[in-house]
Structure 1
Amino acid sequence: MADTPEPDASPEDRVAGAGDRPDPATEAFVTHRRLLFTVAYEMLGSAADAEDVLQETWLRWVGVDLDEVRDHRAYLVRITTRQALARLRTLGRRKESYVGPWLPEPLLTSPDVAEDVELAESVSMAMLLVLETLQPTERAVFVLREVFDLDYDEIAEAVGKTQAAVRQIAHRARAHVAARRPRGPVSPAESRDALAAFQRAVDTGDLQSLLDILAPDVVLLTDGGGIKQAALAPIVGAANVAAVLGRISGTRSLVAAQVNGYPALVVRIADELDTVVALRIEGGLITGLYAVRNPEKLSHMEQETSLHR
């Protein structure tokens, strides 16, 4: 007789132990895992925290009587949202004492994400920073409604509010984001061209080529978390940004990648991941650069890039 997985066993362990016949709870969780991860990530801006939320969701899910659950997907989203909200409030307190600019944890994304314009924008560094300006419940409502198009009754269940309250929150969050969101999508060809020009300029240290690809009012944000050297305030203006970027040519390896649905450079020193630089492109020029150096935010990316090398 086969051993029964422990209640806290991971869904992957259960699938492995069950051969081709996972139990209904495991099957439902695995089916919706990508959705649940994206919900948690967009609420938290951290892949590591999103994975923790999924583990907490799983532990609660396996204790649920599925005979009482009408819609597995909606129920799982509700658990994930509530766990993410609790963690988001804790993270908010931690960010108050964060050293320097706080940036989301970079997430390696596949080309199909970049082709899905709405999804790419929703996980972009620029949009995640806009979502940071929302209150936790506003952020949850916005993500569930605007990104995943959930019905108001589902969202109300997830955040513990009435439908009328959720509609008001959604309206307020939508207006808040609309006033701050990045301008317009960029074509894949325009993104590729801008990234290639940027990579050549940084790789060679050609200051004039850098100035040619940077918008006059470009902003560079660097996140070292007090662990790695980074600017403690935004660097503004093409000349200032180019001067900083000129320092990373030479001994570093630069690899183009898709990060958070947009073009980026993965910077390695002696084969170790040092920095991930995500780009925001408008009108063929780079208007925003997001450089994540905090090692605690690069561990998930290191695992992902190692698998793709």
Structure 2
Amino acid sequence: MPINLDFGIVRRIRQFSRRWAFKRHGVDPDPLTLSSRRIYIIPTGLGVAFALMLFAMFIGAMNYANNLALGLTFLLGSLALTAMHYCHRNLAGLVIRSATSEPVFAGGIAKFHIALENTAPLARHELTVANDHGMAEPQRVPANGRAVFELPLPAPKRGLLTLNHFETITRHPFGLFRAWSHLHMNLTCVVYPKPSPRGITPPPVETDTGGAQDSLLGDEEFAGMRPFQAGDSPRRIAWKAYAREQGLQVKVYAGTAVTSHVFDWDALPGLGTEARLSQLCRWIEDAHAAGSAFALKLPNLQIPANIGQAHRQRCLTALALFDQ
């Protein structure tokens, strides 16, 4: 019971400190250069124990008039003060900016990437970033270099997930002090709807999609291969891949006729909004895995048929941000 009480007190102190820092500094720009006034520092548990040890040494040395013990006490005390200075300096002047965060599906763990850039001619040691849900692995940032940290955050529902607070932390050197800075950058990550279980088969539509191709490829170029489907022309079969025992696959070229699926919002009557989005997400994932072209029809939005990773991301993002 006392352990839970202590933990609750520490948590409330941290929440108060965070609110006070937000009132003082507001929302931070991206990127941000840490100034000295943004950095806070306190002794760690080891630092408190070290201070008590120094106090006991000082009392003993004074009691016995031992100059050698007094000299050792002052030497260790100066070491602690130097460590405090270097711990604070380890964060001062860092440039903090957001890095690319990959989208995730609802119910998963979003991983925000945060870059720390060191513009000084000296390296920074044992730097990390943390929030209420985890802490990144400490890293060394070389002189005039950068390091990218990964910070987890649960993604319970679709939409835009916001990381509105995190901390940069260091305990270098010796672990006697903890220096940190509160940051409120409002970093975002797209959260796709969670795909529903397989069950409802999408209606295929045989159509000449014309420009159904990966947008990263040019016109009249080889766009990739997909699994063989009934009705495909034998001339499109990749026989060399079949000879290498890679299965029966069909070559897809830009502008060729392919089996295209039309994933229509109105084709799922009787389902709620989230259930429809989950089913559409399942169809998109299955079609992309099969290499089939597909189109997406939502209220007030139509995405023409296409294939490729960029097309998949565009459609899933439209589902994630639906009605937001």
Q: Under a length normalisation based on structure 1, what TM-score does the superposition of the two structures give?
A: 0.26
Which structure features the higher share of strand residues? 2
Whichever of the two has the greater Rg, that structure is: 2
Larger RCO, structure (CA 8 Å, separation 6 or more): 1
Which structure shows the bigger proportion of residues in helix conformation? 1
TM-score, normalised by the number of residues in structure 2: 0.25
